[in-house]
Amino acid sequence: INAVEDVTKEIKKTVAALKGYAETETPSLGQAVGSLASTFEIIEKESTEKVKRLRGEYIAPLNDLLIGLQKLQTEQDEAQKATKELEKAEKHLSKVQSKPKEKLKPNEIQTAEAELKAAKDKNAKEENDVKVATEEFNKTKLADMQTILKNMVDIETVFHKKILDSVATVKVKADAIKIEEESKI
């Protein structure tokens, strides 16, 4: 995109030079060169418009998708933490249950069981949240990518069609140069 912006500066210089040259030439060559200058103006204008549209309809939505992906990864990290907490609670309960009864503190087994239940509940919630977030992200990703790709095709099609139309005019003007007639002027 930055390269396109740099090229537009060069095009402006080229257009000015072509217009100046066109004024000094024979009528038909002047018209052809003037048409070429107009084509370069269209290229410059359409390049600027293309960059503007790419930023709004291509780059911005891709950035939004990255933000959505980061949120999904955060959900996945939370689910992994919950799974580790569940494993830790299971090991703790197993350890408490394997202790001799005389070494158990009052309510130690019940506390470990309550911690395990809380860890299971949290893990189930986090797993469900990840499932929902993944489905939502995938749906959004597919819809957004479809739109982004269609936008890219539309942006490029409009850009190239306008330039091709202008180039066709240059060809007509070039074909209309009166070589024999104007060489005698």
Rounded to an integer, what distance in angstroms lies between the CA atom of residue 14 and that of residue 38? 11
| CA separation, residue 163 to residues 130, 173, 177 (Å) | 48, 15, 21
- CATH code of 133's domain: 1.20.1270.60
Tens of pLDDT, residues 73-127:
999 999 999 999 999 999 999 999 999 988 888 899 999 999 999 999 999 999 9
Which residue range is the domain that position 72 belongs to?
Answer: 2-183
**Residues 96, 108 contacting (CB under 8 angstroms):** yes
Q: What is the pLDDT of residue 75?
A: 96
Tens of pLDDT, residues 135-152:
999 999 999 999 999 999
pTM beyond cutoff 0.75: no
Look at the chain and report how many structural domains it folds into: 1
HSE at residue 172, side-chain half, CA atoms within 13 A, is 8
